Amino acid sequence: MTFVEGNTFLIVAILIILFFLELRHDLSRSSGLQVVYQAIAPTMTGIQQLAPKQDKRNLQRSLITQSVLQSQHSDSSTLTDPLNNSDRYSRIAALLDLFSGQDPESIVKKNFYLHYALRRQPVLDIGAGTGTIPLYLAQHGIQVTAIEPSAAMRSVFLTRLANRAKLASLVTLLNSTGKSFRLGTKFPLIIITEVFESLLDDQSRHQLLDNVWQHLSAKGLVISDFRIHGGYREQPITLRDEHKIGQIRYQHFDEVREVTRHYWELVHTFETYHTHQRVDRVEASLVMRLDSRAAVHDLFQQHGFQIRQEFSDYTFSPVQEKQIQPRLILFARKTPA
């Protein structure tokens, strides 16, 4: 096959894929036509497999870039993640949890929050994920209310909680987003971890902080982390960690790519091996919004918060004024009236 023929075949294949994807969307509205779709689905799947993996990745990146660029010419409050806006972690929640227990940074992070939670409880954890921090705090007798919108994350969380029945009276897990929950109570400590980077639009961020204000006690403390623009660099796919259970070996790879100045793509790839043969591969692409430190300060001050302290990591390292660091951990309180 010549170069021209090969490219022509690829273009035709992509057009056919797009046609059938649109057809599936239309057919899903009519239960009477489900049989027709079921008949053509195997054919569509086969055609999708014809496209090389790199072409699929390029198509995903094009969708991300197009969404971000469109937002820059309109109201940024309408930006959504074109690939993962239903549930960013639906395919990788359990795998992320598998590796989090082995991650040295995760251990440091848990002790960081424990240090403050021991003096301020009960605790509200917004974006609790698979329960790593809430369960750790509960092990030390701390009452925690956890907010998590991802069904996949909550499923792993509940499984872990079921295996620690004695903690059930200390942990409350709610299906909600940071901007929509209503509890009718106030907390002396609110934790927001790895949430702001996933809120791609301004409106969601403002709604979150409005809600935090309503649930924070008068002298309460908010601790939130941010990924900072300027502290990140593009990274090719790199082995991050490896974990072995019996004859099964799991590998976790990361890839980081700049989409635009403030929007980056993080690709998690997990490979599973039995003895020396790969038996599974899962890839999930997440879009992150990176902020400047000044923008973070401005956001909190707009909502009536006063910045009280900052660290650049979970080992209590101070922020270097003349050096841009990849992470910012911010402490804030309500501004006195």
**β-strands 263-274, 277-289 pairing:** antiparallel
Q: Give the domain ranges of the chain.
A: 3-78, 93-230+290-334
Angle at CA 10, nearest 5°, toward 9 and 12? 65
Tokens read off for 331: 């402490």
Rounded-to-integer distance, Cα 303 and Cα 221, Å: 14
Note the pLDDT of residue 10: 52
Note the pLDDT of residue 191: 97
**Per-residue CA distances from 121 to 15, 102, 114, 117, 238 (Å):** 56, 27, 10, 6, 39
**Per-residue CA distances from 81 to 68, 130, 296, 301 (Å):** 9, 21, 21, 27
Note the pLDDT of residue 13: 53
pLDDT, block means (10 residues), the chain with 337 residues: 50 50 42 30 35 49 50 43 56 87 82 95 94 95 95 93 92 92 94 92 93 94 92 89 90 91 90 92 90 93 94 92 85 89
93-230+290-334: CATH topology is Rossmann fold (3.40.50)
Tokens read off for 37: 């779709």
**Considering only CA atoms, which of 281, 261, 289, 265 is closest in space to residue 58?**
265
Rounded-to-integer distance, Cα 63 and Cα 11, Å: 17
Task: State how far Cα 187 lies from the chain centre.
Answer: 24
